[in-house]
Amino acid sequence: MEDWLGEILTFFVQLLLVAGVVLLALIVLARAKGGGSVPREQLRIEDLGQRQRQWRERLIHARTGTEKRSRLRWPWRRDTKPRQDEGVASSATTWVIDFHGNLKASGVDRLAREVSLLLGVAKEGDEVVIRLESPGGLVHTYRQGAAELHRLTEGGLKTTVCVDKVAASGGYLMACNAQRILVAPFAVIGSIGVVAQIPNVHRLLKRHDVDVELVTAGRYKRTLTVLGENTEEGRDKLQADLDAIHAKFKDYVDQRRSGVDIDAVSTGEVWYGEEAVSRGLADEVTTSEAYLSKAMERGKVLSLRLAAVPSLAERLGFSASGMIEQALNRVEERVDASGWEHR
């Protein structure tokens, strides 16, 4: 019983400490807001080839049992001896960037800044590999993303898009800007089409005697509406807009994928792996990891990413939440243990 009370007392002491940390975080946050906060980003660069070699060496040593204890205790020590494969490495560099798209393609702005960085440092002969995953979304944002990837080709860089899961609709609009498209065996490719879906509750409101007034200036300012009564003229105008966007989509893909039967693949259907290759939508069936592993044998492979830097208040908040979670877990474990002891 005394041990259980001691745990409870310890929990409350930790809770007070957490409250103090949270109060300090609020003070820091209030001061930061006074000067105006600008989101900061941190450039993260990782040598994928070096990481692969280090992991491979650890596996070999673990299998043979010849790894030195000093290497296990101090893994951050760098080997001063030159490696045999360092002298024959190619001068060309393979740069790797990632894009994971959502409905709004919210990562396009970060992608644009990463592309600008690459254009400033990449040399002739370098390759840019874009690991792209996106089911599509808003037309204007994905068109911007496609324009950003096109900048790499205009800059004279070799571009390769790797799709392990899905590049559909707006995702494929971005992918087709690359000189080569590599897809996994079951990657979803295609969906070259446009869709608009708008619910309408006009009849429901009418049954409950609810009137909705919609005032516009301009004949086609509003084609279809959620609350008001839709007209055939509005439906026809929206359909014409979708057809125009679809035509631009088809032309964009047709200009960048030579040999593809654009009318046959622009039906909104999707294809997988080999099917996408046979229809000209992709060039090869392989995974991004397999392709990058081969690139590591040829030369240096660097991963580049701009990541948001959490503020001091956010870091303190994460720390406080972790302390609370640990304290609650300890109390719960102790209560469960004491329950078993009394049985």
Residue 261 lies in a domain: no
| Residue 77, pLDDT score | 53
The string over 1-37, giving b where at least 16 C-beta atoms fall within 10 Å of a residue's C-beta and e elsewhere, is eeeeeebeeebeebeeebeeebeebeeebeeeeeeee
Residue 33 lies in a domain: yes
Same domain flag for 61 and 144:
yes
Same domain flag for 150 and 295:
yes
Q: Are 123 and 146 in contact (CB under 8 A)?
A: no
Same domain flag for 234 and 292:
no
> What residues are labeled active site?
169, 221
Domain count of the fold of the chain: 3
Q: What is the three-state SS of 92-119?
A: EEEEEEEEECCCCCCCHHHHHHHHHHHH
| Residue 10, pLDDT score | 75
Residue 27 lies in a domain: yes
How do beta strands 284-285 and 180-183 pair? parallel
| Residue 70, pLDDT score | 47
Same domain flag for 49 and 15:
no
Same domain flag for 200 and 187:
no
Distance CA 121, CA 244 (A): 39
Residue 77 lies in a domain: no
Distance CA 17, CA 322 (A): 13
pLDDT per 10-residue tile (average), the chain, 343 residues = 65 73 68 56 89 87 66 50 47 92 92 94 92 94 96 94 96 96 96 93 92 89 90 94 96 93 95 95 96 92 86 58 68 58 47
Same domain flag for 236 and 174:
no
Same domain flag for 97 and 234:
no
Q: CATH number, domain at 144?
A: 3.90.226.10
Residue 262 lies in a domain: no
Residue 80 lies in a domain: no
| Residue 17, pLDDT score | 76
Domain that holds residue 286: 42-69+88-191+269-308
Q: Are 112 and 143 in contact (CB under 8 A)?
A: no
- What pTM value is reported for the model? 0.74
How do beta strands 158-163 and 180-183 pair? parallel
Same domain flag for 102 and 220:
no
Same domain flag for 116 and 230:
no
| Residue 61, pLDDT score | 84
Backbone phi, psi, residue 44, to 5°: -115, 120
Same domain flag for 59 and 98:
yes
Boundary of a domain, candidates 232, 256, 280: 256
Same domain flag for 216 and 241:
yes
Same domain flag for 32 and 54:
no
Q: What dihedral do alpha carbons 170, 257, 178, 125 form, nearest 10°?
A: -170
The backbone region for 105, taken as left when phi is positive above 0, alpha when psi lies in -120 to 50, beta otherwise, is left
Q: Are 315 and 29 in contact (CB under 8 A)?
A: no
3-state helix vs strand vs coil in the chain, percent to 5: 50, 15, 35
Q: Are 296 and 4 in contact (CB under 8 A)?
A: no
